[in-house]
Amino acid sequence: MNKMVKKSEMVSFATGLTRPSRDEAEAAVRTLIRWAGDDPDREGLAGTPDRVLRAYAEWFGGYGEDPAALLGRTFGESGGYEGMVVLRDIRFVSHCEHHMAPVFGRAHLGYLPRGGRVVGTSKLARLVGLYARRLQIQERLTAQIADALDTALRPEGVAVVLEASHACMATRGVREPGARMVTGRMLGAFRDRPGTRAEFLAAVGLGGRGDAAAGNVFG
C-alpha cells in the first residue's frame, strides 16, 4: 500500500512521467525568485521554495489521482429514480496552462441515469477537483469532466457547464477582473433534446434564453 501511495506521488497519471526531485524543484523556485528580481537567500524568502512545493502538491494534486479509480464503483440503487440528477455550484480552483495563474470557478453537472446507475454526489464534486487540480484550459476541463462521467455511468446524457474567472486575465494583459468565461459540454439527451437541455440550464440558473439560444451556446 505504501508503495502505491509513493508511486502516485512520483508518477503523473496524466502523462506517466516521473517527477523531478524535491531539490530540483526547489532550485527552480529559487531561480524564479531571482528572475522576479529578489534574493532567494533573504530571510523572508528562505522557506518559500518549500512552501511553494507544498502549495503545488495541493494545487496540482490531480496529477496523482486516477479518474477511472474515482468513478470505478457506481451505485445501482437509485430507488427507481429516472429523473435528471443535477449538482450545481461546485466550487473549484484550477490553474491555466498558459500562465500557471489561478482560475476560480463553479461547475454545474447533470446527467440522466440509465439502468439505475448513479454515482454519489461527493464523487461528482471530487471529479471536478481532480481535473481542476491540473494545468488546464477551461474548454478541456469541461470536456474531461463530461467525458469521464459519460464513460463511467453510460447515462442517457451528460451536461457540464463551467463558469470561471481567470487571474491571468484579471491581473495582466487586458486586465478584465469582472469577466467570467462560460463553457459547456452537452452529450446524449442534453445535446439532442432541447427540452432536456433547457431543463438543466434552468436548474443551474442559466435558463431563460430559450431553447434555440441555449442550443447555440452549448450544443
Q: Which residue from 168, 170, 181, 182 is in contact with Zn ion, where contact means CB under 5 A?
A: 168
Of 86 and 168, the one with the shorter C-beta distance to Zn ion is 168
What are φ and ψ of residue 168, in 5° steps?
-65, -30
Instruction: Report the residue count for the chain.
Output: 219
Of 13 and 56, the one with the shorter C-beta distance to Zn ion is 56
Instruction: Say whether 108 is catalytic.
Output: no
* R_g over Cα of the chain: 20
Residue 140 found at the interface with Zn ion (CB under 5 A): no
Q: Which stretch binds Zn ion (CB under 5 A): 41-49, 78-86, 95-103, 180-188?
A: 95-103
| Cβ atoms of residues 105 and 123 within 8 Å | no
Residue 7 found at the interface with Zn ion (CB under 5 A): no
CA atoms within 13 A on the CB side of 151: 13
Encoded one letter per residue, x for contact with Zn ion by CB under 5 A and - for no contact, window 99-118 reads x-------------------
Rounded to whole angstroms, the Cα distance separating 14 from 131 reads 10
Q: How far is the CB of 178 from Zn ion (least distance, A)?
A: 16
Write the Ramachandran bin of 218: left for phi over 0, alpha for psi from -120 to 50, otherwise beta.
Answer: alpha
For the four alpha carbons of 9, 12, 17 and 23, in that order, the dihedral sign comes to: negative
Residue 152 found at the interface with Zn ion (CB under 5 A): no
Give the burial class of 142: count Cβ atoms within 10 A of its Cβ; 0-12 exposed, 13-18 middle, 19 or more buried. Answer: buried
Q: How far is the CB of 140 from Zn ion (least distance, A)?
A: 13
Q: How far is the CB of 171 from Zn ion (least distance, A)?
A: 10
Residue 34 found at the interface with Zn ion (CB under 5 A): no
**Active-site hit among 96, 108, 144, 156:** 96
Q: How far is the CB of 137 from Zn ion (least distance, A)?
A: 8
Residues carrying an active site annotation: 96-99, 138, 166, 168
> Rule CB under 5 A: which residues touch Zn ion?
96, 98-99, 168
